[in-house]
Amino acid sequence: AEVASTVNENLLIEQLLQNENDPQTRLYLLNQYLENFKGTVYRQTMFAEFEREAHAMVERGEALNAAALNALYKRLVTDYFGDDMVIDDEIQYEWARIPHFYRPFYVYKYATGYSTAVALSEGILKEGEPAVKRYKEFLSMGGSAYPLDELRHAGVDLATPAPVDAALEKFERILDDAEATLAKLQ
């Protein structure tokens, strides 16, 4: 479900960008695209690292209490978003309100799903009909095969770093476009 909806979102935003000449509106669309990446690829990867580290703490026999989880979460926010972002002390409590953490090792699926959707939508935009055909066949499988096999059929192999690498390259291209568009406004 995440892959299908995100492929459609990416295709829509690409269509809107293709036809948008107003720098202000274009910048809005590019910002939305970048926010989608940040929220699903970067942030969900940080969430997955939080989960992994919390479980590792237990396996090492360390106390798993609010203070330890607060410190872990705040460190990860700082690591992922850097010193340029204003990070207040309250951010350390955010982990407690994220319901995904109460279902072990779930959040990584958002990052891999978004990377997959980028690969599929880029394939559709570059290849046209052959990629559309593979994508529709993937959708028609409806979970009847192992998910990684279904994705391979669609042309995305998550057993390799290629889809994630391609998504990060796409992020960089969108960021470059946003910076160039912003420069036109100044």
- DSSP calls for 19-55: T---HHHHHHHHHHHHHHHIIIIIHHHHHHHHHHHHH
- Under DSSP, the state recorded for 145 is S
Rounded mean pLDDT of 127-143? 95
Rounded mean pLDDT of 103-108? 81
pLDDT value at residue 2:
82
Provide CB contacts within 8 A for 44, sequence distance 6+: 107, 108, 110, 111, 114
Rounded mean pLDDT of 58-64? 94
Helix (H) / strand (E) containing 162: helix 162-185
pLDDT value at residue 153:
95
- Cβ proximity of 143 and 36 under 8 Å: no
**Which tops the pLDDT comparison, 15 or 143?**
15
- Cβ proximity of 73 and 54 under 8 Å: no
Rounded mean pLDDT of 68-80? 96
pLDDT value at residue 182:
95
* DSSP codes of every residue in 101-133: GGSTT-THHHHHHHHHHHHHHHHHHHH-HHHHH
Rounded mean pLDDT of 136-152? 94
pLDDT digits (tens, 9 = 90+) for 18-36: 999 999 999 999 999 999 9
Residues in the chain: 186
What percentage of the chain has pLDDT greater than the value 70? Answer: 100
| Model confidence at 167: pLDDT above 80 | yes
Rounded mean pLDDT of 164-174? 95
| Model confidence at 108: pLDDT above 90 | no
| Model confidence at 102: pLDDT above 90 | no
| Model confidence at 37: pLDDT above 80 | yes
Count CB neighbours of 103 within 10 A: 9
> What is the C-alpha to C-alpha distance for residues 42 and 4, in angstroms, rounded to an integer?
20
pLDDT value at residue 107:
87
pLDDT value at residue 100:
85
To which residue do tokens 């990377």 refer?
A: 115
- Mean pLDDT over the full length of the chain: 94
Q: Which amino acid is at 8?
A: N
> What is the C-alpha to C-alpha distance for residues 30 and 41, in angstroms, rounded to an integer?
16
The structural domains of the chain, ordered by start, are 2-185 (1.10.1370.20)
> What is the C-alpha to C-alpha distance for residues 174 and 60, in angstroms, rounded to an integer?
41
pLDDT value at residue 106:
80
